[in-house]
Amino acid sequence: MSSRRADASMSLLIDLTTHAIDEGYERAAARRKETSSDLAVAPSPRRSRRVTAMAVGVVLALAGALFATSWVATHRNADAAKRARKDLVNQIHTQTAQGDQLQQQLDDLRAKVAAARDAALAASGKGSTLQREIAELELVAGTQAVEGSGVEVTLDNAKDTSNPDTASLGVIYDRDIQAVVDALFASGAEAIAVNGERLTTRTAIREAGDAILVDYRPLAPPYHVDAIGPPDLKAAFLKTQTGTLYENWRQVYGLGFSVDSRVRLTLPSAAEPVVRYAAPLPAAPSAQPLESP
Protein backbone atom coordinates (compact mmCIF):
# COMPACT_ATOMS: atom_id res chain seq x y z
CA MET A 1 0.00 0.00 0.00
CA SER A 2 2.73 2.38 1.00
CA SER A 3 4.61 1.34 -2.12
CA ARG A 4 1.65 2.27 -4.36
CA ARG A 5 1.31 5.58 -2.60
CA ALA A 6 4.97 6.33 -3.19
CA ASP A 7 4.64 5.47 -6.89
CA ALA A 8 1.64 7.76 -7.23
CA SER A 9 3.46 10.59 -5.53
CA MET A 10 6.48 10.13 -7.78
CA SER A 11 4.24 10.12 -10.90
CA LEU A 12 2.55 13.36 -9.83
CA LEU A 13 5.91 15.05 -9.26
CA ILE A 14 7.15 13.97 -12.68
CA ASP A 15 3.95 15.24 -14.31
CA LEU A 16 4.20 18.60 -12.52
CA THR A 17 7.84 18.95 -13.57
CA THR A 18 7.14 18.09 -17.21
CA HIS A 19 3.94 20.16 -17.56
CA ALA A 20 4.40 23.31 -15.46
CA ILE A 21 1.27 24.90 -16.97
CA ASP A 22 -2.10 23.28 -17.14
CA GLU A 23 -2.92 21.99 -20.65
CA GLY A 24 -6.12 24.00 -20.81
CA TYR A 25 -4.28 27.22 -20.06
CA GLU A 26 -1.60 26.30 -22.57
CA ARG A 27 -4.18 25.73 -25.34
CA ALA A 28 -5.91 29.04 -24.54
CA ALA A 29 -2.58 30.91 -24.66
CA ALA A 30 -1.78 29.32 -28.03
CA ARG A 31 -5.14 30.41 -29.46
CA ARG A 32 -4.59 34.00 -28.26
CA LYS A 33 -1.14 34.05 -29.84
CA GLU A 34 -2.49 32.84 -33.21
CA THR A 35 -5.29 35.45 -33.11
CA SER A 36 -2.88 38.33 -32.38
CA SER A 37 -0.52 37.11 -35.14
CA ASP A 38 -3.36 37.00 -37.70
CA LEU A 39 -4.45 40.51 -36.72
CA ALA A 40 -0.91 41.87 -37.21
CA VAL A 41 -0.31 40.24 -40.61
CA ALA A 42 -3.71 40.43 -42.27
CA PRO A 43 -5.61 43.65 -41.40
CA SER A 44 -9.33 43.90 -41.62
CA PRO A 45 -10.62 43.87 -45.23
CA ARG A 46 -12.86 46.85 -44.47
CA ARG A 47 -9.93 48.92 -43.15
CA SER A 48 -7.77 47.89 -46.12
CA ARG A 49 -10.41 49.06 -48.59
CA ARG A 50 -10.75 52.35 -46.73
CA VAL A 51 -6.99 53.00 -46.85
CA THR A 52 -6.84 52.13 -50.56
CA ALA A 53 -9.74 54.46 -51.36
CA MET A 54 -8.04 57.28 -49.49
CA ALA A 55 -4.78 56.70 -51.37
CA VAL A 56 -6.55 56.68 -54.74
CA GLY A 57 -8.39 59.89 -53.82
CA VAL A 58 -5.14 61.63 -52.91
CA VAL A 59 -3.51 60.53 -56.19
CA LEU A 60 -6.49 61.69 -58.23
CA ALA A 61 -6.56 65.02 -56.40
CA LEU A 62 -2.85 65.58 -57.07
CA ALA A 63 -3.27 64.61 -60.74
CA GLY A 64 -6.23 66.96 -61.11
CA ALA A 65 -4.28 69.82 -59.55
CA LEU A 66 -1.35 69.11 -61.86
CA PHE A 67 -3.56 69.03 -64.96
CA ALA A 68 -5.33 72.22 -63.91
CA THR A 69 -2.03 74.01 -63.35
CA SER A 70 -0.72 72.81 -66.70
CA TRP A 71 -3.90 73.93 -68.51
CA VAL A 72 -3.79 77.37 -66.91
CA ALA A 73 -0.11 77.79 -67.83
CA THR A 74 -0.72 76.65 -71.41
CA HIS A 75 -3.75 78.91 -71.76
CA ARG A 76 -1.81 81.90 -70.46
CA ASN A 77 1.12 81.17 -72.77
CA ALA A 78 -1.22 80.84 -75.77
CA ASP A 79 -2.89 84.15 -74.95
CA ALA A 80 0.49 85.82 -74.52
CA ALA A 81 1.68 84.41 -77.86
CA LYS A 82 -1.49 85.66 -79.60
CA ARG A 83 -1.05 89.12 -78.12
CA ALA A 84 2.64 89.22 -79.07
CA ARG A 85 1.84 88.12 -82.63
CA LYS A 86 -0.94 90.70 -82.94
CA ASP A 87 1.37 93.45 -81.67
CA LEU A 88 4.09 92.36 -84.07
CA VAL A 89 1.67 92.37 -87.04
CA ASN A 90 0.46 95.85 -86.07
CA GLN A 91 4.05 97.07 -85.85
CA ILE A 92 4.79 95.62 -89.29
CA HIS A 93 1.77 97.35 -90.82
CA THR A 94 2.68 100.64 -89.12
CA GLN A 95 6.32 100.51 -90.16
CA THR A 96 5.37 99.50 -93.71
CA ALA A 97 2.97 102.44 -94.01
CA GLN A 98 5.64 104.80 -92.70
CA GLY A 99 8.18 103.35 -95.11
CA ASP A 100 5.79 103.79 -98.05
CA GLN A 101 5.15 107.39 -97.03
CA LEU A 102 8.87 108.12 -96.79
CA GLN A 103 9.44 106.43 -100.15
CA GLN A 104 6.79 108.65 -101.73
CA GLN A 105 8.46 111.74 -100.27
CA LEU A 106 11.80 110.53 -101.57
CA ASP A 107 10.38 110.01 -105.06
CA ASP A 108 8.89 113.51 -105.07
CA LEU A 109 12.15 115.10 -103.95
CA ARG A 110 14.10 113.06 -106.47
CA ALA A 111 11.80 114.23 -109.25
CA LYS A 112 12.29 117.87 -108.21
CA VAL A 113 16.07 117.48 -108.13
CA ALA A 114 16.04 115.82 -111.56
CA ALA A 115 13.87 118.61 -112.98
CA ALA A 116 16.19 121.30 -111.58
CA ARG A 117 19.25 119.47 -112.93
CA ASP A 118 17.75 119.04 -116.40
CA ALA A 119 16.78 122.72 -116.49
CA ALA A 120 20.32 123.73 -115.62
CA LEU A 121 21.92 121.36 -118.12
CA ALA A 122 19.59 122.31 -120.97
CA ALA A 123 20.87 125.89 -120.90
CA SER A 124 24.04 124.99 -122.84
CA GLY A 125 25.16 122.66 -125.61
CA LYS A 126 27.57 120.68 -123.47
CA GLY A 127 24.95 120.52 -120.73
CA SER A 128 22.43 119.01 -123.16
CA THR A 129 24.95 116.36 -124.21
CA LEU A 130 25.67 115.56 -120.57
CA GLN A 131 21.95 115.42 -119.88
CA ARG A 132 21.46 112.76 -122.53
CA GLU A 133 24.34 110.73 -121.14
CA ILE A 134 22.88 110.94 -117.64
CA ALA A 135 19.48 109.79 -118.91
CA GLU A 136 21.05 106.75 -120.60
CA LEU A 137 23.00 105.85 -117.46
CA GLU A 138 19.91 106.28 -115.28
CA LEU A 139 18.00 103.92 -117.55
CA VAL A 140 20.70 101.28 -117.19
CA ALA A 141 21.02 101.83 -113.44
CA GLY A 142 17.25 101.70 -112.95
CA THR A 143 17.09 105.02 -111.08
CA GLN A 144 14.64 106.50 -113.59
CA ALA A 145 11.02 105.46 -114.14
CA VAL A 146 10.41 104.09 -117.62
CA GLU A 147 7.44 103.31 -119.85
CA GLY A 148 7.08 101.08 -122.85
CA SER A 149 5.69 97.85 -124.27
CA GLY A 150 6.70 94.46 -123.00
CA VAL A 151 5.42 91.36 -121.23
CA GLU A 152 4.02 90.42 -117.85
CA VAL A 153 5.02 87.04 -116.43
CA THR A 154 2.79 85.83 -113.57
CA LEU A 155 3.97 83.17 -111.12
CA ASP A 156 1.74 81.67 -108.45
CA ASN A 157 1.54 78.64 -106.18
CA ALA A 158 -0.45 75.65 -107.36
CA LYS A 159 -4.02 75.55 -106.10
CA ASP A 160 -3.76 71.90 -105.01
CA THR A 161 -0.72 71.02 -102.88
CA SER A 162 -2.29 68.11 -100.96
CA ASN A 163 0.01 65.50 -102.51
CA PRO A 164 3.15 65.47 -100.32
CA ASP A 165 5.25 63.97 -103.12
CA THR A 166 4.64 66.91 -105.49
CA ALA A 167 3.63 69.69 -103.08
CA SER A 168 7.07 71.35 -103.18
CA LEU A 169 6.95 71.47 -106.99
CA GLY A 170 3.79 73.57 -106.85
CA VAL A 171 5.28 76.33 -104.68
CA ILE A 172 7.07 79.44 -105.97
CA TYR A 173 10.48 80.03 -104.40
CA ASP A 174 13.00 82.84 -104.73
CA ARG A 175 15.02 80.82 -107.23
CA ASP A 176 11.96 80.65 -109.50
CA ILE A 177 11.75 84.44 -109.70
CA GLN A 178 15.50 84.64 -110.20
CA ALA A 179 15.32 82.18 -113.10
CA VAL A 180 12.48 84.09 -114.80
CA VAL A 181 14.27 87.43 -114.39
CA ASP A 182 17.51 86.05 -115.82
CA ALA A 183 15.65 84.53 -118.79
CA LEU A 184 13.87 87.84 -119.50
CA PHE A 185 17.13 89.78 -119.48
CA ALA A 186 18.68 87.14 -121.73
CA SER A 187 15.70 87.53 -124.10
CA GLY A 188 16.29 91.27 -124.52
CA ALA A 189 14.44 92.93 -121.62
CA GLU A 190 15.69 96.42 -120.85
CA ALA A 191 13.96 97.03 -117.51
CA ILE A 192 12.21 94.66 -115.07
CA ALA A 193 10.11 95.08 -111.93
CA VAL A 194 8.69 92.41 -109.59
CA ASN A 195 5.42 93.40 -107.92
CA GLY A 196 6.34 97.04 -108.47
CA GLU A 197 9.92 96.71 -107.18
CA ARG A 198 12.39 97.84 -109.84
CA LEU A 199 15.39 95.60 -110.33
CA THR A 200 18.96 96.78 -110.76
CA THR A 201 22.35 95.08 -110.92
CA ARG A 202 22.48 95.31 -107.11
CA THR A 203 19.00 93.95 -106.39
CA ALA A 204 18.77 90.93 -104.09
CA ILE A 205 15.99 88.35 -104.49
CA ARG A 206 15.93 85.97 -101.56
CA GLU A 207 13.73 84.08 -99.10
CA ALA A 208 13.09 84.69 -95.41
CA GLY A 209 10.92 81.92 -94.01
CA ASP A 210 7.89 81.66 -96.27
CA ALA A 211 8.27 85.19 -97.67
CA ILE A 212 10.16 86.26 -100.79
CA LEU A 213 12.09 89.51 -100.42
CA VAL A 214 13.11 91.89 -103.18
CA ASP A 215 15.53 94.44 -101.77
CA TYR A 216 14.32 93.46 -98.28
CA ARG A 217 10.69 94.19 -99.09
CA PRO A 218 8.39 91.17 -98.62
CA LEU A 219 6.19 90.20 -101.56
CA ALA A 220 3.01 88.13 -101.59
CA PRO A 221 1.84 85.82 -104.39
CA PRO A 222 0.91 86.04 -107.15
CA TYR A 223 4.22 87.47 -108.37
CA HIS A 224 4.03 89.77 -111.40
CA VAL A 225 7.29 90.17 -113.29
CA ASP A 226 6.92 93.15 -115.66
CA ALA A 227 9.54 93.54 -118.36
CA ILE A 228 9.96 96.26 -120.99
CA GLY A 229 11.73 95.17 -124.15
CA PRO A 230 11.52 94.52 -127.89
CA PRO A 231 8.27 93.43 -129.62
CA ASP A 232 9.38 89.78 -129.79
CA LEU A 233 10.20 89.60 -126.06
CA LYS A 234 7.35 87.16 -125.31
CA ALA A 235 8.26 84.73 -128.07
CA ALA A 236 11.95 84.88 -127.19
CA PHE A 237 11.25 84.22 -123.52
CA LEU A 238 8.95 81.24 -124.20
CA LYS A 239 11.68 79.67 -126.31
CA THR A 240 14.19 79.75 -123.48
CA GLN A 241 14.82 76.72 -121.27
CA THR A 242 13.16 78.52 -118.34
CA GLY A 243 10.02 79.33 -120.32
CA THR A 244 9.70 75.75 -121.57
CA LEU A 245 10.34 74.27 -118.11
CA TYR A 246 7.74 76.40 -116.35
CA GLU A 247 5.16 75.73 -119.03
CA ASN A 248 5.66 72.00 -118.44
CA TRP A 249 5.34 72.47 -114.67
CA ARG A 250 2.10 74.38 -115.23
CA GLN A 251 0.64 71.44 -117.11
CA VAL A 252 1.98 68.67 -114.86
CA TYR A 253 1.90 70.17 -111.34
CA GLY A 254 -0.65 72.96 -111.72
CA LEU A 255 1.93 75.69 -111.10
CA GLY A 256 0.63 79.20 -111.76
CA PHE A 257 2.49 80.45 -114.84
CA SER A 258 1.37 82.78 -117.63
CA VAL A 259 3.03 85.17 -120.08
CA ASP A 260 1.00 88.08 -121.49
CA SER A 261 1.99 90.86 -123.85
CA ARG A 262 1.45 94.43 -122.63
CA VAL A 263 1.16 97.43 -124.91
CA ARG A 264 2.15 99.83 -122.15
CA LEU A 265 3.98 99.18 -118.93
CA THR A 266 5.18 101.72 -116.35
CA LEU A 267 8.07 100.66 -114.15
CA PRO A 268 9.00 102.82 -111.15
CA SER A 269 12.50 103.97 -110.40
CA ALA A 270 14.74 102.07 -108.03
CA ALA A 271 16.47 103.47 -105.00
CA GLU A 272 19.60 105.52 -105.55
CA PRO A 273 22.64 103.23 -105.39
CA VAL A 274 25.10 103.85 -102.59
CA VAL A 275 28.51 104.56 -104.14
CA ARG A 276 31.34 103.40 -101.89
CA TYR A 277 34.24 103.38 -104.35
CA ALA A 278 34.87 105.50 -107.43
CA ALA A 279 37.71 105.82 -109.91
CA PRO A 280 38.08 107.89 -113.09
CA LEU A 281 37.84 106.17 -116.46
CA PRO A 282 41.22 105.45 -118.08
CA ALA A 283 40.51 107.70 -121.08
CA ALA A 284 38.33 110.25 -119.29
CA PRO A 285 38.98 113.81 -120.52
CA SER A 286 39.83 116.52 -118.07
CA ALA A 287 36.82 118.19 -116.53
CA GLN A 288 35.71 121.38 -118.25
CA PRO A 289 33.55 124.02 -116.59
CA LEU A 290 30.04 124.24 -117.96
CA GLU A 291 29.10 127.28 -119.96
CA SER A 292 26.95 129.76 -118.18
CA PRO A 293 23.54 130.38 -119.70
User: Model confidence over 169-210: pLDDT tens digits?
Assistant: 788 999 999 999 999 999 999 999 999 999 988 888 998 887
| Mean pLDDT score across all residues of the chain | 78
Q: Give the separation between CA 43 and CA 46, rounded to whole angstroms.
A: 8
From the CB of residue 221, how many other CB atoms can be counted at a distance below 10 Å?
14
Condensed to tens digits (0 to 9), the pLDDT of residues 243-271 reads 999 999 999 888 899 999 999 999 988 87
Q: What are the two backbone dihedrals, phi and then psi, of residue 282, each rounded to the nearest 5 degrees?
A: -60, -40
Model confidence band, residue 156 (pLDDT cutoffs 50, 70, 90): very high
- pTM for this one? 0.59
Tell me the average pLDDT across 86-110.
83
Model confidence band, residue 164 (pLDDT cutoffs 50, 70, 90): low
Q: Give the separation between CA 225 and CA 234, rounded to whole angstroms.
A: 12
C-alpha dist (Å) from residue 10 to 3, 6, 23, 242: 11, 6, 20, 130
Question: Any idea where the domains of the chain sit in the sequence?
Answer: 2-41, 145-267
**R_g over Cα of the chain:** 48
Q: What is the pLDDT of residue 293?
A: 38
Q: What are the two backbone dihedrals, phi and then psi, of residue 165, each rounded to the nearest 5 degrees?
A: -75, -30
Tell me the average pLDDT across 99-118.
83
Using DSSP's 3-state secondary structure scheme, residue 124 falls into: coil
Tell me the average pLDDT across 84-105.
83
Condensed to tens digits (0 to 9), the pLDDT of residues 123-155 reads 888 888 888 888 788 777 787 888 999 999 999
∠ CA 203-204-206 to the nearest 5 degrees? 155
Higher pLDDT, 242 or 123: 242
Q: With beta carbons less than 8 A apart as the criterion, state whether 192 and 267 touch.
A: yes
The domain made up of 145-267 is a member of CATH 1.10.3720.10: no
Task: Give the CA-trace dihedral at 16, 19, 24, 25, to 10 degrees.
Answer: 100
Tell me the average pLDDT across 86-108.
83
C-alpha dist (Å) from residue 195 to 24, 79, 98, 253: 112, 35, 19, 24
